[in-house]
Structure 1
Amino acid sequence: MQTRNLRIGNLKKKILLLLLAGLALGLTRSPKKHWWILKQIPKEWEKINRQALQRAIYSLYTSHLIKERHNRDGTTTMILSENGNKKALRFNIDKIEIKKPAKWDGKWRIVMFDIPEKLKGLRDSLRLHFREIGLIELQKSVFVYPYPCSKEIEFIIELYNARKHVRFILAENVDNQLHLMKKFDLC
């Protein structure tokens, strides 16, 4: 099932990210229980209007970004749907930053992908995100980076479900190494 391309406001974004982090928003007939859950969250949530929160949750539910799970005690828990999980991960992708160690270990991280033409959108998205986090394109569909970045690359690959198309190599030498060292300010 495809969801329509909808704009997500700040409140909806916060709800999705909280669900992604593992917080279950419990919805019960008892307002005390509902607000007890929200009180466990940082102060900024205390300012949220209850009606706005209910509208946001309803909108996320009708957009198939969250779903209900009925519990034995009569409560209902809102959890991320598969589409909601992907949407929440997209919010996090903008915050990816590779931490550079104080000293370079002398190794190159090479990311290669071979994506069919029919998946051109996927290929373009991977290129864009690899550039945004600082990788340099060595050749078409081959990127290089001097610092450990496997976790960040794994995150992007999983987000786009591109595992079978992407390879990650750790190399000690690259033939145009001096050029790359200059580009990454390593010499």
Structure 2
Amino acid sequence: MKPRSLMFTLYGEYIQYYGGEIWVGSLIQLMSGFGISESSVRGAILRMVQKNLLQVRKKGNKSYYSITEQGKRRVEDGVNRVYAAPQAAWDGKWRILSYSFPEEKRELRNEIRKELSWTGFGMISNSTWISPNPLENQVMAMIKNYKIEENTILFSSSDVVSHTSESIIAKGWDIGQVSENYNRFIEKYLPELEELRDKALTNRLTDEECFIKRTNIVHEYRKFLFQDPGFPRDLLPKDWVGSRARELFWNIHQLIAIPSIRYFESINETDPDQEIKPIRDKAINPFKEVYV
């Protein structure tokens, strides 16, 4: 687990609901539970500050870190995709982004490709990306953030003359591989769900164990944001395995949610001069769809 990636998970899963900032000492203690040393945490913080993903607020001899606007967009996009209820119906429109960068902007072009992949777009040619999801606002925010208005064109269309929707999907995404990865997730975590239920019933789980397990499964499930574009249900295969994986994720997440939050609150040392009203209910259950 890389320190930067874990920090994004911690901000999205906990810190954003507790004032949006954290004392570096609390962050070091939380991340030590995942085998990450203090020097690694401080090094990751420095790099994230340099990349304008984190910002610091000094109070006496203490440093409090929060996500910048640029980092917040990344966190919020991720949280929304992890916890939002899946779309039921497709509106019939493809969102298509085309770009052209000179060779001296190759690094920027690679960064845009990562952003588009993260957002759920599929690449159907070297400079053309496509999605059936209503992502206009997110893409326009990305274009504005990177100041690439002159290099990009975003448009939507309900008609693709040369290809069927199925062939477009096959061209832009490897749904078979995504399905395989979901099956592996289920094979790994289904036995863990049974074990956690047994331990919870017999009071054999500490708050710290719950925090580490919940954070780990969120971190693992977040990886699907780079693979699964989150298609509307009517564009997915029948009996889509991703739905079963999501239900399993929900069951584990909620089984250990309260002790996980309790542990975070015991470690999270806030600035006594800051009036912070935690959104505890949201931290416990951020899902926008309830499974039964």
Per the shorter chain, which TM-score range?
A: 0.5 to 0.7
Structure 1 segments (4+ residues) deviating >6 Å: 95-100
C-alpha distance in structure 2 between counterparts of 1:142 and 1:125, whole Å: 15
1:68·1:76 contact (CA, 8 Å) conserved in 2?
A: no
- The alignment yields a C-alpha RMSD, in angstroms, of 4.6
Query: CA offset at residue 169 of structure 1?
Result: 0.9
Q: How is 1:104-119 mapped onto 2 (pairs within 5 angstroms)?
A: 104-119=90-105
8 Å Cα contact 1:112-1:167 kept in structure 2: yes
2:122 matches 1:135: yes
| Structure 2 match to 1:24 | 21
Does structure 1 residue 58 correspond to structure 2 residue 42?
Answer: yes
Map residues 30-69 of structure 1 onto 2, 5 A cutoff. Answer: 45=30, 48=33, 54-60=38-44, 63=47, 65=49, 68-69=56-57
Counting only pairs closer than 5 Å after superposition, residues 170-181 of structure 1 correspond to structure 2 as 170-176=156-162, 179-181=163-165
Is the 2:21–2:66 contact (alpha carbons within 8 Å) kept by the matching residues of 1?
Answer: no
> Residues of 2 paired with 1:170 and 1:105: CA distance?
11
* SS of structure 2 residue aligned to 1:173: coil
Q: Which runs of 5+ in 1 are unaligned?
A: 1-8, 28-33, 40-44
Q: CA shift at 1:151, angstroms?
A: 5.2
Distance across 2 between alignment mates of 1:118 and 1:15: 31
How far has the Cα of 1:106 moved from its partner?
1.8
For the Cα contact (< 8 Å) 2:3–2:41, is it kept in 1?
no
| Aligned counterparts of 1:46 and 1:128: Cα–Cα separation in 2 | 26
Higher relative contact order (CA 8 A, sep 6+): 2
Structure with higher helix content: 2
- Deviation string 1:124-181 (CA, Å, 9 cap, x unpaired) is 45446646735242x542223333233554576577x2532222212232332xx131
1:108-136, CA deviations, whole angstroms, 9 ceiling, x for partnerless residues? 21111121222123334544664673524
Distance 1:59 1:163 in 2: 30
Identity %: 15
Amino acid at match of 1:105: D
State the TM-score, normalized to the length of structure 1.
0.53
Q: Report the Cα distance in structure 2 between the residues aligned to 1:144 and 1:61, rounded to whole angstroms.
A: 34
Whether the 8 Å contact between 1:111 and 1:144 is mirrored in structure 2 is yes
1:70 and 2:55 equivalent? no
Count residues with an aligned counterpart.
154
Contact 1:109 1:144 in 2 (8 A): yes
Q: Which residue of 2 aligns with 1:5?
A: none
> Which structure has more strand as a fraction of its residues?
1
> Hey, what does 1:31 align to over in structure 2?
none
